[in-house]
Structure 1
Amino acid sequence: MTTKDHLYTMCEEYVESRIQRILRSLKDLEEDMESEGKNSAGDKYETGREMMSEEWNKLSNQLREFKQQKDTLKLAKNREASKRVQLGCLVKTSASNYFISIPAGKMEHDNESFYAVGGNSPVARLLMGKTEGEEFEFNGIRNTIISVE
């Protein structure tokens, strides 16, 4: 398995675990809403119901975001190999290594650190379209692109 494939799998597991966690929370909240409806009446009931509704909306939005990330990850995997940085590329620089995919944070593989970053992140926007050997400045530090896979 290549480094890029390994990072893709790690990102996939990251997204799937978040989706499953949110689905469990939604299920628990649904059960709470049902039991609240059977046992309550009055203003206290309405306040509790409203708080649960807000939580439901928040979790639903998070679920939608993670499903979008899952779709973005599929796009990243299916991209043709390119010498120019684009979604799905593994970019090694003089300062850090990046997997342009989804914002999943720092990952380790074969004693190397990689940052899985979304295509709209500040560093990804700086890297997009650049090729091996090109320089860019990030956080006031000049960096060079060592490789693009």
Structure 2
Amino acid sequence: MNDNDYLKFKIEINTYCLSILSDRLNTIKKNLDSLMDAKRNETKSSAGDKYETGRAMIQNEEELFKRQGAETRKILDQILRIDPDKICSKVEPGALVLLPSGHFYIGAGMGKMHVAGKDCFAISLSSPMGQALKGKTAGSTFQFQDKEIVILNIY
């Protein structure tokens, strides 16, 4: 791939991350809406304990979905702050880092993904790998898990 291909790839990764996060938020919203319907339709029966247990389970699920929503919005905010068109000269949010072990997109910890026919890892600067890479430039070496790794290029 040439420089332009890598820059396009970086934009595709960013778009893919935004799409995944949008899908997650939509799923969480649908699940919350479903729980709200279940809560409204829960009728108090003569077996009061059964009613209370059902309400408590719904409440626990609601809290779980709300936490997931908050975490997803936090990750979305990190990705939205990135200008994917920016060419990075050092490892910073929005950088696509090429290492001998693969492509790393610095933005938010979303893990391994397959974009445009290639595997890449979306990581945050606060991850162990992100901390090892932070501020480095192309050609730099760094230590990670007792290995010396060279940064092949940064876009």
Same fold judged by TM-score > 0.5?
yes
| Mean CA deviation greater in 39-48 or 7-16 | 39-48
Whether 2:76 is the aligned partner of 1:49: answer no
TM-score between both structures, scaled by the size of structure 2: 0.86
Whether 2:119 is the aligned partner of 1:113: answer yes
Structure 1 counterpart of 2:4: none
Please tell me the root mean square deviation across aligned C-alpha atoms, in Å.
1.9
Structure 1's unaligned 5+ residue stretches are none
- Partner amino acid, structure 1, of 2:144: F
What SS does structure 2 have at the residue aligned with 1:82? Answer: coil
Tell me how far apart the structure 1 counterparts of residues 77 and 32 of structure 2 sit (CA, whole Å): 21
Structure 2 counterpart of 1:67: 73
Give identity over the alignment, percent.
28
TM-score between both structures, scaled by the size of structure 1: 0.90
How many equivalent pairs are there? 148
Structure 2 counterpart of 1:40: 45
Structure 2 counterpart of 1:144: 150
- Partner amino acid, structure 2, of 1:55: E
Structure 2 counterpart of 1:89: 95
- Partner amino acid, structure 2, of 1:86: E
What SS does structure 1 have at the residue aligned with 2:64? Answer: helix
Tell me how far apart the structure 1 counterparts of residues 25 and 61 of structure 2 sit (CA, whole Å): 16
Structure 2's unaligned 5+ residue stretches are 1-6
Contact 1:100/1:116 (<8 A) preserved: yes
What SS does structure 2 have at the residue aligned with 1:136? Answer: strand
